[in-house]
């Protein structure tokens, strides 16, 4: 269910959540890639686990993100209700060099399978 009209309270929560550059970077990665876990975000953004967790909790408590648990990992995704408003906010920032750099790092890590190897704590393929 998408919001067609919303009142001032949810709107204020969304705009407050988007007032921090770290949260915008996290939102952009999740919006662009569908869903992400905290370890992926830590490695891409070079944030500590504490900082990443704090920002993800803020976004979740603001009603922007929901979670899905798979074994020991928690995956964060954008709620359907706020998809349109977040999309409009991020469209204004789509040419930002820092957001584009974050996405490029994600693509590099994903294509090299480094994120999966890190999660599973396996040896790199070259050492197998």
Residue with the larger pLDDT of the pair 70 and 122: 70
Residue with the larger pLDDT of the pair 127 and 80: 80
What class does CATH assign to 8-121?
mainly alpha
Give the per-residue pLDDT at 76. Answer: 95
Angle between helices 83-91 and 8-17 (to 10 degrees): 50
Give the per-residue pLDDT at 3. Answer: 53
Record the pTM: 0.79
- At 14-44, the pLDDT tens digits run 888 888 999 999 999 999 998 899 988 999 9
pLDDT at 55 over 80: yes
Give the per-residue pLDDT at 117. Answer: 61
Q: Are residues 44 and 102 in contact, defined by beta-carbon separation less than 8 angstroms?
A: yes
Domain segments of the chain: what residues? Answer: 8-121
How many percent of the chain have pLDDT more than 70?
82
């Amino acid at each position: 269910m998408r919001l067609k009209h919303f009142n001032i309270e949810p709107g204020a929560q969304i705009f407050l959540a988007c007032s921090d550059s770290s949260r915008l970077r996290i939102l952009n990665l999740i919006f662009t890639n569908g869903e992400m876990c905290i370890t992926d975000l830590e490695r891409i953004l070079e944030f500590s686990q504490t900082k990443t967790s704090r920002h993800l909790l803020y976004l979740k408590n603001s009603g922007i993100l929901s979670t899905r648990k798979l074994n020991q990992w928690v995956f964060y995704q954008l709620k359907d209700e706020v998809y349109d408003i977040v999309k409009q906010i991020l469209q204004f920032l789509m040419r930002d060099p820092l957001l584009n750099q974050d996405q490029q790092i994600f693509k590099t890590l994903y294509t090299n399978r480094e994120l999966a190897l890190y999660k599973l704590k396996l040896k790199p393929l070259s050492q197998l």
